Copies of this chain bind each other. A is one copy, B any other.
Amino acid sequence: MIPGAYYAKQTPMNLGFETLRWIGGCDGMLELIDQRLLPQRMEYLRCENPQTLFEAIVTLAVRGAPAIGVAAAYGICLGLRQLPGNAPLLQALEQMEKTANYLAASRPTAVNLFWALERMKKTAAQFAADNPAAQAGILRQILLNEARVIENEDKEMCFAIGRNGQSFIPDGKAILTHCNAGALATAGIGTALAPMYLAHQQGKKFTVYVDETRPLLQGARLTAWELTRAGISAVLICDNMAAGLMKADKIAAVFAGADRIAANGDTANKIGTLSLSILCRCFSVPFYVAAPSSTFDLSIPDGSHIPIEQRKGDEVRGFAGQTTSPENIAVYNPAFDVTDAGDITAIITERGIIPSPGSDNIRRCL
């Protein structure tokens, strides 16, 4: 198995940037678009160790549930990077376990992070069971390869979500999206934005209203950047303007991503998604969630079991270091909220569409 050969980067659709990329072999490094700098500058951040990646995840230099999963898989490789190739296998496994536990503490809500780390651990455990006399060097190869597979699957998953969801993009109308569930949130062409990219490629005409998505403005900074680069008509709004647009019958559908989906279909996504889903119900606007199967957490029965990350108050007190509120004002800053399954028209996955998501049809699809 030659890393970089079979699993060479294949983007089924080229948007002109790579959200993340591994450079080199087992002693290589992970490069991420530093999303804190967008849209002003597109710069790659080099991660040569798990600490840099951890910080990148916490500060949202890399974000989006699928992208965090892929990054974490490569993070395992970063943890093994300096281990001598002839080190004992056990030492490599211990080092991997330590790195996985460390990275798992970076963000609590998106389940793809834990999913990717588990998959890397399982691959390592399987290899160790089959090859107890092997040395660290081979495990590193195996794990780098597995990370590449995860990245490649992510790309294919995005494309499949796009194919499955593109018929939901109405020709000649406007849709709305929240936060960034685009290419920048994945290794591929995104989740919620993937159907838009494919519909655009097919020549459909539509406008995307983009919620700016306070407090960290992923909509304004990232989604608006992605869509306009691709030539898709985008209109930026503040999050509190969606209701007026729906009341004026200007929104034909809403597309959102997901950070974790419970067994019954309740969906955690960026703060503000809940509000949109309720407005959609009230104004009879279809509300679609687009997410890969790795976003489902069938171990929890419903959304009340999803841990919601609380972030620092300064994110709300201002923006980019500029304070706009009284000093030390108390702040409530949850990063996510949970949308009721009953308010979701359908979940678009790479394996197919789950209409009126509930425990039964989720299990059937997955």
Contact = CB atoms under 8 A, between A and B. Distances in A.
Interface of A: 39-40, 209, 211-215, 217, 220-221, 224-225, 228, 233-245, 247, 271-272, 274-275, 278-279, 281-282, 313, 316-326, 329-334, 337-338
A233 B330 contact: yes
Given A234-B330, A235-B332, A247-B337, 11 more contacts: A220-B324, A221-B324, A236-B313, A236-B332, A237-B316, A237-B333, A239-B239, A240-B240, A243-B278, A243-B337, A244-B334
Nearest to A303: B247
Contacts of A279: 275, 278
Given A320-B324, A322-B319, A213 B240 contact: yes
A274 B243 contact: yes
B209 A332 contact: yes
A230 to B, nearest CB: 12
A317 to B, nearest CB: 7
Nearest to A233: B330
A233 B220 CA distance: 31
B319 A319 contact: yes
B282 A278 contact: yes
A338 B247 CA distance: 9
A228 B233 CA distance: 42
Given A279-B275, A316-B238, A324-B220, A245 B214 contact: no
A279 B337 CA distance: 14
B212 A245 contact: no
B316 A212 contact: yes
Nearest to A242: B275
A334 B241 contact: yes
A240 B275 contact: yes
B326 A224 contact: yes
Ranked nearest first, the 3 interchain pairs of A and B with the lowest CB-CB distance are A240-B272, A243-B275, A214-B238
A350 to B, nearest CB: 28
Contacts of A245: 332
Given A279-B275, A282-B282, A325-B221, A241 B319 contact: no
Contacts of A228: 326, 329
A231 to B, nearest CB: 13
B271 A325 contact: no
Contacts of A241: 271-272, 332-334, 337
B319 A217 contact: yes
